[in-house]
Amino acid sequence: METANRYTKEYKIKAYIKQNDNPYCFLSGETKVTMCFSDNSQTIENRLRQYFITMNRR
């Protein structure tokens, strides 16, 4: 996916969605990325913080 810095945020979002049929499932290099939302009160910031704290303890 290619977008230049000279384009507006709105244009970049539209181009991204056009290039990726499902913006919640895409490839980042060779890694498949799937996103979803849950109904719990955890934010992504809290979940990532917990993840990295756990990784530092190993």
Q: Which tens digit of pLDDT belongs to each residue from 9-52?
A: 899 888 888 887 787 888 889 999 998 887 888 888 998 999 99
pLDDT reading at 53 higher than 90: yes
User: Does the reported pTM lie above 0.95?
Assistant: no
- CA 26, 23, 20: angle at the middle one, nearest 5? 70
- Report the distance separating Cα 2 and Cα 47, nearest Å: 30
Quote the CA–CA distance of 37 and 44 in Å, as a whole number: 10
Nearest-CA neighbor of 22 among 32, 30, 31? 32
Distance CA 50, CA 42 (A): 11
Q: What pLDDT does 1 receive?
A: 52
